Structure 1
């Protein structure tokens, strides 16, 4: 994920790449957003780093709301985006024993040669 900040007429902006399909880098979308904040974030391994935060809308199960997102390269991680507690607080309950509450994604048909 390329992440670069720039100035647009006195507004701090960030330009970043998004690869919307899990486990595939075939498609890349270049996005731009105003920088909402820069904060220190501690990873699951305990390492702290400064990260850029943006505000964006999330659309999930016919509901849309605004969340703060941190920008980080997650290409080598199991999931490209994580929804944190603050993003879903007061909107959803998590059942750790269930998967695909919104429906299992459709699998692409494999081509057999």
Structure 2
């Protein structure tokens, strides 16, 4: 039976994915500017491969990788979701990239 609990922290994702050495795991993504986002995607892939839990409920910003538990701080307080995978802190950045 597949669980329905959505992991809420990176530590929980790591545990469910079977990551025993956090430093080694995250170091493999450190050289890439999108390292956090790619690391979270890899954790989700590993968890999905086990069939133990669905991880699609964990939202992360496509620009910066922030989550509900690790929001960006802006001049107006913590960021919020403007799209399913885009936080309010990154929305202007995404708009500028499209315009350029």
Q: Same fold (TM over 0.5)?
A: no
Q: TM-score range by the shorter chain?
A: under 0.3
Q: Which has the higher contact order (CA 8 A, sep 6+)?
A: 2
Q: Give the alignment's TM-score, normalised by structure 2.
A: 0.27
